[in-house]
Amino acid sequence: MKRGIAIFTLLIFLPATLAWREASARAARQGQNAPAARSEPPAQPIPYSHKKHLALGLKCQQCHPNPEPGDRMTLPAAGQCMACHVTIAREKPSIQKLAEFAKSGQAIPWVRFYVVSGWVYWNHRVHLEAKMTCAMCHGPVEEMEVMARATNVTTMAGCIECHRKNDASTGCQYCHADK
């Protein structure tokens, strides 16, 4: 059964991986960066500028902690944001909406767009312990007024390309093992 799944996976993803490698090689020969899977940012419930907040000295992990078991970074509770916004820009409609989320205790319904397929084992903590930076996967967040997909990090081609570039394991069992 495992062998059948592995063959199926190769048949499905190998063409995309080879196309990505070819495009990456072509870009490298032309002195360009590898192509990224860029997209229009999804509509979010509250406007948020990573550029503005990171320029104030905030660090990614202050708003996005990595609780056990380490598979994903979390999003901040509205109350955490309101620790500053109780006085800063409190008259803005977006901050008033944020205050409503905080008062109700309801999570802000952010739209995630860096999502790894559920059948793939992936863990943020492993990558953080390997000294990967947030920007390596999410792009230059510190320059983004609006967060948008800047890399193809959630595709098999993107993972393999990064693992090869960083001399990390590329065996199928690391991401596709039965868990």
Overall average pLDDT of the 31-56 stretch? 77
Are 13 and 157 within 8 A, CB to CB?
yes
Give residues with Cβ within 8 angstroms of 99, minimum separation 6.
78, 82, 85, 90
Query: pLDDT at position 9, please?
Result: 40
Rounded to whole angstroms, how far apart are CA atoms 165 and 159?
10
Overall average pLDDT of the 76-97 stretch? 95
C-alpha R_g of the chain: 19
Give residues with Cβ within 8 angstroms of 71, minimum separation 6.
122, 123, 124, 125
Place 38 in a pLDDT band, splitting at 50, 70 and 90: low
- pLDDT, averaged across the chain: 82
107 or 22, which is more confident?
107
C-alpha 34, offset from chain centre: 18
What are the residue boundaries of the structural domains of the chain, listed by start? 2-73+111-176, 76-109
68 or 29, which is more confident?
68
* DSSP-based three-state secondary structure for 114: coil
Element (H, E) at 139: none
